[in-house]
Structure 1
Amino acid sequence: MLFHRIEDWNNAYANGANIAQGETWPAAWEEPARAYREEMQTLGRAQLDLVYGDKPRNRFDLFLPADSPQGLVVFIHGGYWQALDKSYWSHLARGSVESGFAVAVPSYTLCPEARIGDIVREAGQAIADAAGEIDGPLHLAGHSAGGHLVSRMIAEGSPLAQAVQERIRTVVSISGVHDLRPLVETTINAKLGLTAQEAMAESPALMRPLPQKRLFCWVGGNERAEFIRQNALLANIWLGLGAETGAYAEPDRHHFSVIDGLMDPHHPLVKTLLS
């Protein structure tokens, strides 16, 4: 029998350094995202920089299908709660938009200007405001830190009002970080400023899911072992607490390519999200 122990927690959560040509991301997303926004603006189906709060980054972009929306998808971006904004991810709306759903992509205030609890509340406000624009069911997706944020929306202490909670049909956490405690002693925490108490208070894996919620945890099969563990962790724990859950490791995908499926309306990731 083999025992396992993680000696280098910084390396355990280092994505770019452990991916071939990892330094090309996130810049690789900028052009396809820009091109998609331009395409949708030309079609008159993009509403950009809609305001949802009083902070400079409290803005979201809304992309509309050709016909009346069947519902709304909200995609929350990653970047370890301390980097990036909505402009990198616009093209990921394509799969859901072409399936007949509107898609909102918000930015939020980053650490260290905000604490993670503040970002949770901003994400909730963005979702609520976007939901006010589009009728029908809500489907939430988030990548990495965004996976944590969308999971928090259906956990105890959710910032969402009851009426918004009741509209949520499916949540997909993609490469989500669901237990924040391992990050406390990493260099990632230099900007997060997480205390042990905050890490416990904001970890979905340490919370109960809201009643009758469904969560799917999706990860790349070639990701760091910690992301694969975190992926299985939340689905496993919440299954035992009454939620409808699933987990999947997509073969030959790493932390940056695992979201590519969101661009294809026929991809299983989109089918799962819209189920």
Structure 2
Amino acid sequence: MSDKPPKSDVDLEAEYNNRAAVPDHPLVMARWRADAEAARAAHPPTTLPYGSGEREAMDLFEAGPDAPVVVFMHGGYWQALDKSWFSWVAPALLKHGVSLAVPSYDLCPNVRLGRIVSQTRDAVELIRARTSRRPVVFGHSAGGHLAACMLSEGRASAAVAISGLFDLAPLIPTSLNDALRLDAREAAALSPVHWPVPNGSTPGGTVLDCVVGADETREFVRQSRDMANFWGGKGVETRFEALPGLNHFTVLDPLADPDSALVKRIAELARAF
């Protein structure tokens, strides 16, 4: 990914304000909530604490005692939502014999973004300790950022970043930064595009899928495409895919379908490692 910021004529507020860009997002999120409640009723999860804080816990939906476990990191710009919104992701993966862990984490502005990265690290390490293997990690938006961070650190066997954020500098002049409180130095330090690129000489995985909705803003498409190109040029096995007809919220719809290419890909990666 280029270290250069987006062109100055790009309206960064519009490009990164996904709720404004998708006026009917409340309907999609209401569906998430309803489907999550139904999934929890059909497949009651085990709650696993990974720390002492109130939000330092994850829901584990188990497919079986020896099933591979994948970890999903939710979005919300590190300042909204929690694990309970995304229980609906579990059923499709369970049908493939893959267990799912969904952690919550503390939110900005109550904590700094670096603390959220640390909490994600603790959650992934708990799954790794339980299974004696590095898990596949995947996440949406802010969760895509966290997934890439875990892959860079060698804590994951592979990562699938859906509508991920890999360069945080463009967020600084937007209203989203009211809660994040990023300056240029902190944004650079927490951007996985600037982190070590995973390679065959270091522990962990070297597979990164960057998936985005084709109907998302130009900046979100650019972030995923540029990250795949940048890490791919450094030796990582990357894939970039823009899913037709999907926006920043509906891009998650394939996760509800066990026959979707996205679910099959995550299950394939989980079994491969």
TM over 0.5, yes or no? Answer: yes
Distance 1:71 1:193 in 2: 37
Distance 2:250 2:224 in 1: 16
Distance 1:178 1:101 in 2: 27
Q: What is the aligned partner in structure 1 of residue 12 from structure 2?
A: 9
Contact 1:102/1:134, CA 8 A, preserved across alignment? no
What does 1:92-131 correspond to in 2, within 5 Å? 92-131=89-128
Task: List alignment gaps of at least 5 residues for structure 1.
Answer: none
Distance 2:51 2:145 in 1: 21
CA deviations 1:50-100 (Å, max 9, x no partner) are 2101211001000011x4443110000000000010010001122221111
Q: What is the aligned partner in structure 2 of residue 250 from structure 1?
A: 243
Deviation at 1:129, TM superposition (A): 1.1
Contact 1:72/1:136, CA 8 A, preserved across alignment? no
Bigger mean CA offset, 245-254 vs 134-143 = 134-143
Does 1:154 pair with 2:151?
Answer: yes
Q: What is the aligned partner in structure 1 of residue 186 from structure 2?
A: 198
Task: List alignment gaps of at least 5 residues for structure 2.
Answer: 1-6, 201-205
| Distance 1:113-1:196 versus aligned 2 partners, 3 A rule | same
Q: What is the aligned partner in structure 1 of residue 4 from structure 2?
A: none
Contact 1:72/1:135, CA 8 A, preserved across alignment? no
What does 1:19-38 correspond to in 2, within 5 Å? 19-38=22-41
Corresponding letter in the other structure for 2:167: D
Deviation at 1:20, TM superposition (A): 4.5
Distance 1:6 1:106 in 2: 38
Q: What is the aligned partner in structure 2 of residue 234 from structure 1?
A: 227
Does 1:47 pair with 2:52?
Answer: no
Distance 1:206 1:40 in 2: 39
| Distance 1:179-1:90 versus aligned 2 partners, 3 A rule | same
Secondary structure at the residue paired with 2:248? coil
Distance 2:171 2:26 in 1: 22
Does 1:207 pair with 2:199?
Answer: no
Contact 2:151/2:157, CA 8 A, preserved across alignment? no
| Distance 1:126-1:203 versus aligned 2 partners, 3 A rule | same
Does 1:265 pair with 2:265?
Answer: no
In angstroms, what is the RMSD of aligned CA positions? 1.7
CA deviations 1:146-185 (Å, max 9, x no partner) are 0000100122xx3xxx6xx3xx332100000110000011
Query: Which of 72, 77, 98 is the equivalent residue of 2:74?
Result: 77
Corresponding letter in the other structure for 2:119: E
Does 1:60 pair with 2:58?
Answer: yes
How many aligned positions are there?
A: 258
Q: What is the aligned partner in structure 1 of residue 21 from structure 2?
A: 18
Bigger mean CA offset, 207-216 vs 4-13 = 4-13
Secondary structure at the residue paired with 1:127? helix
Corresponding letter in the other structure for 2:230: I
Distance 1:136 1:208 in 2: 21
Does 1:140 pair with 2:140?
Answer: no
Corresponding letter in the other structure for 2:227: L
Distance 1:90 1:118 in 2: 24
Distance 1:224 1:53 in 2: 36
Secondary structure at the residue paired with 2:43? helix
Corresponding letter in the other structure for 1:28: R
